[in-house]
Structure 1
Amino acid sequence: MSKRRSRGRNHEKIKKVNFIYIISILIVLLILFFLTFLSLLNMGNSKILHNIYINGISVSSLSQNDAKEKLNSELDTILSQPITLSFEDFSVDFLPAEIDFSYDTSSALEQAYSIGRTGNIFSNNLNILSSLFKRTNLTSKYSYNEEKLINIINNISVDIPNLVIEPSYYISDDTLVITGGTDGNELNKDKTRDLLLSTIINNQKSLSLPVEYISSNSIDIDKIHDEIYCEPQNASVTKNPYKISAEKDGIDFAISIDEAKELASNKDASEIYIPLKYIKPEITIADLGEDIFGTKLGTSTTIYDSTNFNRSTNIDIACERINGTILEPGETFSFNKVVGERTSKNGFKEALIYNGGEVDYGLGGGICQISSTLYNAVLKANLEIVERKNHSMTVSYLPIGQDASVSYGSVDFKFTNSRTYPIKIVATAKAGVITVSVLGVLEKQEYVVTFETEILETTDYKTTYEYSSSVPVGKEEIKQVGKNGYKCSTYKILSLGEKEVSRTLLSTDTYKSQKEIILKHK
């Protein structure tokens, strides 16, 4: 009896297990059918799944084209709006366009569309189900100009209020002036860069700048000494390849480093003054002599009246002042600066000058002959003219268009050493002959320099008469020689052998006429 009951219970259990098993299989088959249906339905759907975002912008249930149009439109709007960067009361607006920021949405759109489509049936169905409950945010690729971003951050960093001031120094003649630092604010530039990009990408409209209050560095005398100290360098020349190195003065503290540190330890001083000493090199460019100044690059000679004491004295002074001047490549020569102010204290005498179209007496009369002779030598050396003006009337010692007037404080003659190597000016005035030469090294290509002057207009001088009892009856004396006036253009011609290479207009000059004055018996 008990055995029959036991077999009955077992049979019931088997039936129950079989029922559960069958139901489970049916549920699995139903789920598989449902998922397959979802997958097939999605495969036939050309729209992006639900809950898909790109750069925070919903592209859910949109076709790729509609999503692209919406995304680009909204991103353009977002990027056209300023982002406010602020710290305490300081703020500045920033536009992403300032760093050429732009998005490339194509890959993100492809990725958005591929969700639920490109995997196997299980992963696709999982993504489809997930999209019903979970938001997916994709990020577009972007590009920007790093250099512009760094420049903007650098500009912002100097506008932050109450900036930290680090110790600084400068050299004034023979004194090193050091200014101590002050504690203050400093913008963390690296952090600002990362935060700003993140702000743009996340479509945010404001950013609190990462500013830190820091202590300034203490004055580092050892570091400053290392930065300013240099040994004197001798001038040198090498022949193969040909290279000239100019001398350089050395510089050092005129006191010991310990003494300088003692001065820097004074916390009450706003500035610290450390004396400097300059150390001259043993060999200068001038000492190299024939090695670098062995060739005449251009020379000019004019004649003057050596019996005119005052005018000759002025010529001698100007000649001595410019003689021996050395110009490095790129260095500019100023006649007024080198010769100096024309004063009695500087040794200059009264002699005839042109003044407002008239002949008059003035200190330094005659030195224009030196500037004019130098001008011609410089032209023949094919150097660059920076400033030059003709006289108000023609001069007797040079052809028209080839003179160079000077007047301290108003009219200067300047030129630049436009050659590859240093040049030296050599000037002499002796026995009525002025010779000015430019010495240096020949370039690989040297030109023959000549001039040509074209007279455009001529103004005949007028004759006037004055009367004096000192003139014998029936006789006439010339008090002032007449000079015609001219307008002319002067050209510089460069030639290689017999071939003209270039013709350049040097200047167009206008000279006033000078009236002739004849004395008659009164």
Structure 2
Amino acid sequence: MRREAFSKARGEGAGFKVYGRGSFRRRRRTVGAVLLALVLAGVLVAALGFSRGDEGIRRGVEIGGVDVGGMSKAEARQALEAGASQSLAQISFVNGSGGDAPDGGKVSAQSLGIALDDRKSVEKAYDVGRDGNFVERSVAAVRGSSTGVSIPAAVSYDRQAAEEIVSGFAGEVDQQPENASYEASGSGDLEVVDGEPGSELDVQKTLGNLDESLPKLDGEIPLATKSVQPEKSAENLQSMAPTKKLGEFETDYRYSDSEARKQNLRMSSGAVDGTVLEPGEVFSMNEHIAGLDYKKAKVFADGGETSALGGGLCQVTSTVYMAAQYAGLEIVERTPHYTTLPYIRPGFDATVWFGGQGIPELDMKFKNTTDSNVLIREYVTEKGILKAEIWGQPNGKEVTMRSEQDFKDTDRGIKWSTYKTVKKDGEVIREGLLHEDLYSYPPPEASDEGYNDVRVGGW
């Protein structure tokens, strides 16, 4: 009964023809053979179409984008030369990184020593569909009839000349990275601002792009660049961040009602404010305040008063000089004024002079002798006070300073001695005389000759 039921289920006795497994395999082989025959027939048809015009270049062949299919060798060379002379007459080195990066520039093919070997290029094109065995020729035939066959043009250039030309674009292309920096918030707290990577021209990769583009008769060459990381990272600044005020000093500028002097104070202190010194780095006052558009204001020259461009610079200098003293930093260079000043105690002053008029430069310099970065803050307040602060990491130093007048007479002038005591972790590591300064007495009459008198006084 089971056998009969199974037979009925397969359709036996119901008019159906039943095939075994062997029959299905034979049918699959037959279908496969037919499909293979069709494919081969298609290849042969394509090959026949591709090979029409047997004396010329196969149809569907191009050289560097120039269609030379069906042409004779002479015709192909002529077409290739025309295409190359149009595409490669001028080579443009363009932005290859996107964004706002600039282009490099344009140069002539002659300056790069570009040369097209049209004969060699055409011979390669002519060989398409002729070289190789039957299968290789058939594959080339199918490609030529469907998508086409592209042959790179045989193009050479002067590598040394190209390298020099590409290197010359660095000034236009290179973008300097921005170091991480400190920024003071409204409350006076310091925050680390991330830097930005820059980029610089990669000459060898750009020449590689030239190698790829010229055989395609492409006259636009992407400029390759590589990323340049900032020297100062946010992580580095964070670990070296100034967290404590090491020293401060302030002077009063309300004695002067000169608006020009106040502008000079704001301008020069602003040039100093925010300066970061790494361990071992030396701060130069002149490097920061020289070359600004100062106003003509009161200066102290030869012990008297006059007007000159930059009036107020010495007050800015003296104020930050004393902040550096109280921070326990090393003073590298300091020159006193010729006369005593109304805004600072004698012995605490420092003058600057940019040089000229036969007078050597006078600078004020100090060195970061700590193991962390230090930040210099200097600014004017609306209440008439100029403030300077030195920030760093705690160094355990405590500094006290004092100055005393030794004598004052018309023949010898006025002598002041300045003393400094430095404690580290409560222990005195330095104590005693710091320097002696001799100021003029009596002060001479004010002069109107300006710069000529500033030589011994300062701003």
Question: Greater RCO between the two (CA within 8 Å, min separation 6)?
Answer: 2
Scaled by the length of structure 2, what TM-score is found?
0.46
Structure having the larger proportion of residues in strand: 1
Scaled by the length of structure 1, what TM-score is found?
0.41
